[in-house]
Amino acid sequence: MMAPQVLRFFPLIRSVSQPFLAVLLALPIGPNLVTGLSLVSGLAAAATLYISSQNFELWAAILLIVSYIFDNCDGEIARKKNLTSKFGHRFDSFSDWLVHSCFFLALGSAWHTVTGDPWWLWFGWAAALGSTINYLIALLYEKLDQNALHARQEGATIPNGPYEWFLFVFRELARADFCFLVALLMTFNLHWLLLPTAAAGAQVYWLTQFHAVARRFRV
């Protein structure tokens, strides 16, 4: 069956983070510290991007990938060291939201500084707003259903049909592997496409996320 093999292929960041996970597991550190490292490196990426220099933009992409690597490792460390907690999960979710919102706002501000066009600010705010709505949707469903956290940790179910496959691939690329899209666009100096795409994509993402969660819990 091709479907399970494709599911194992996503997210791409999981394969990249495996060598780092082995090192982190050998260190006497907990998952919340790793989440903190993810938060710090993600905010550093946003701050570096805000400086708005071509060389700094490449460093911003690298720092964002580092943030994603830590973010992919913290949950695995929590499970393997038996240190899972509600606080750890909420801290992880909060960090993800803050990093992405600040990144979009910094990108919009940087392009506004370069071009003087206020539309870039609006794009940044729209992308950050979409990220915030998605974060609030996750909080709402965890509050409504105490089993939501466990349901989200069960792993991806096999999509059924072209529409569900489209939603699955879109969510994976927009969520877990977003850092690679950023790096690719910045490498080829196409990162000006990122913000308007993110402004629209963030809205599509939270709508598809709402649809997926609503179907799971039959809301």
Q: Is 152 buried (19+), middle (13-18) or exposed (0-12) by CB count in 10 A?
A: middle
pTM of the model: 0.82
Please report which confidence band the pLDDT of residue 35 belongs to, taking 50, 70 and 90 as the band edges: very high
Q: Which of 68, 85, 104 is nearest to 32 (CA)?
A: 85
What residue ranges define each of the domains in the chain, with the CATH number in brackets? 2-217 (1.20.120.1760)
pLDDT in tens, 128-165: 999 999 899 888 777 766 555 444 444 445 666 665 65
Q: What is the pLDDT of residue 208?
A: 77
